[in-house]
Amino acid sequence: MSVISDIAAELADDARAAAMAPVESVKDAKYTLEGIREGRVSPATVLKTAGITLGAAVVVALLLFPLYWVAVGAFSGTGASLYSSSGIRLWPADPTIEPFLWVIGDLIVPSYRISLGLGGYEVFLQTPELTFLDVSQYGVTETSEFKRFFANSLTVAIPTVLLAMCLIVPSAYALSRRQFIGRSKVLYGYVLFTQIGGGLGVALLIALYALFVQFGFNDSKLALSAYYAATAVPFNTWLLKTYMDGIPVSYEEAAMIDGAPSWKIVTEIILPLSKAGLATVFIFTFLTGWTEFVVAQTLLSTDNYTLPVGLYSLVGRYSIPWARFSAFALTFAAPIMLIYLFAQRYIEGGLSFGGMEG
């Protein structure tokens, strides 16, 4: 559980830094003002700095404007964003969360009737209907298929993670700690594939599709997960191996002297110390299955569409207003973005961590 508490501590640090940022900058500004008054700092320099900083901020704002525009679109009233031609808006014309309600739809657990036969008697159990969100109360009658896509994505991503972890963890350990025939060849192949093999997936798609159809695997979410797990192996094995390289060998030597067998060294030293690395690999393999589009679109039928394919299926449908499309896209992408950025940060900290605080 220490990974989670670490994460919580980092989040708390971030929150504190964010909360303190205005205070700090006010302090800085006060200091600069004093400097100007006392003649230590020339006003021209301050103006120049302020101007350049403002320019940089404008550049950043322009770069991220498309994302802001999507968010504005998603919160707009349906009609306003599709039909109005009043130019660019910095604030939604008619703010509403209706598009998001359309995306999520009803969250109702229907009541089930369970019957049990107990020695001639029949006992009926009626579970209550649980209503978390009933969108028809807010005037949204038809809803998107987000929940179905979401369920499909989960049934693809979970087997992907399980299979990938089973393949990656032993490989990474062996590559990091043992010498054997062909070791450097495997490593070289994995790194090369990581750097240049990214686009091979689409090129292979014809063969992959033909093979899947002939084996009767097309439209099988499990076969798709196996494919995702296979593509995730090279990069993540390399990543975890690099991570394990950072754990000092002296820990293992100490355990060996104490007479621990090598499986015990793995379970008691290597795995606990590479928790952050394992978490990163977990997230990356999960996202492989969660975000892949081309292969899923080719192999799966409409009923089994995952979220990315579902998103794409909305693109050409002119009956779907832009506001609803944006809301769908944001609901899909925003959690991934947060997770990814966090993993990115954590991995940076993780790679420099040498096992000393374990």
Contact (CB, 8 A) for 169 and 277: no
Binding to other proteins by CB under 8 A, coded x per residue (else -) over 254-293, reads ---------------------------------x--xx-x
To other proteins, the closest distance from the beta carbon of 148 in angstroms equals 18
Binding to other proteins by CB under 8 A, coded x per residue (else -) over 134-173, reads -----------------------------x--xxx-xx-x
Task: Write b or e for each residue in 49-76: b if 16 or more Cβ atoms lie within 10 A of its Cβ, otherwise e.
Answer: eeeeeeeeeeeeeeeeeeeeebebbbbb
Of the candidates 135, 161, 208, 281, which one interacts with other proteins according to CB under 8 A?
208
Confirm or reject binding of residue 63 to other proteins (CB under 8 A).
yes
To other proteins, the closest distance from the beta carbon of 173 in angstroms equals 7
Residues 6+ apart with CB under 8 A from 156: 221, 224, 225, 228, 289, 290, 296, 306
Q: How far apart are CA 208 and CA 257, in angstroms?
A: 50
To other proteins, the closest distance from the beta carbon of 202 in angstroms equals 5
Give the DSSP per-residue string, 160-217.
HHHHHHHHHHHHHHHHHH---TTHHHHHHHHHHHHHH-TTHHHHTHHHHHHHHHHHT-
To other proteins, the closest distance from the beta carbon of 4 in angstroms equals 21
Q: Which amino acid is at 190?
A: Y
Binding to other proteins by CB under 8 A, coded x per residue (else -) over 98-137, reads ----------------------------------------
Extract the runs of DSSP E, i.e. beta strands, from the chain. 107-109, 113-118, 121-126, 130-133
Q: How many residues bind other proteins (CB under 8 A)?
A: 98
Q: How far apart are CA 28 and CA 316, in angstroms?
A: 51
Taking CB under 8 A as the binding criterion, the range among 34-42, 76-84, 99-107, 109-117 that sits at the site for other proteins is 76-84
To other proteins, the closest distance from the beta carbon of 40 in angstroms equals 18
Nearer to other proteins, 100 or 325 (CB): 325
**Three-state secondary-structure class, residue 325:** helix
Of the candidates 7, 41, 70, 154, which one interacts with other proteins according to CB under 8 A?
70
The closest alpha carbon to 202, from 267, 285, 293, belongs to 293
To other proteins, the closest distance from the beta carbon of 158 in angstroms equals 17
Site for other proteins in 296-355 (CB under 8 A): 298, 308, 311-312, 315, 322, 325-326, 329, 332-333, 336-341, 344
To other proteins, the closest distance from the beta carbon of 178 in angstroms equals 4
To other proteins, the closest distance from the beta carbon of 258 in angstroms equals 22
C-alpha angle with apex 137: 332 to 84, nearest 5 degrees? 60
DSSP 275: H
Contact (CB, 8 A) for 88 and 68: no
Nearer to other proteins, 37 or 185 (CB): 185
Confirm or reject binding of residue 20 to other proteins (CB under 8 A).
no
To other proteins, the closest distance from the beta carbon of 252 in angstroms equals 14
Q: How large is the C-alpha radius of gyration of the chain?
A: 27
Of the candidates 11, 16, 30, 53, which one interacts with other proteins according to CB under 8 A?
53
List the structure tokens of 122.
């029949």
Confirm or reject binding of residue 243 to other proteins (CB under 8 A).
no
Nearer to other proteins, 214 or 352 (CB): 214
C-alpha angle with apex 244: 239 to 246, nearest 5 degrees? 105
Q: How far apart are CA 301 and CA 218, in angstroms?
A: 9
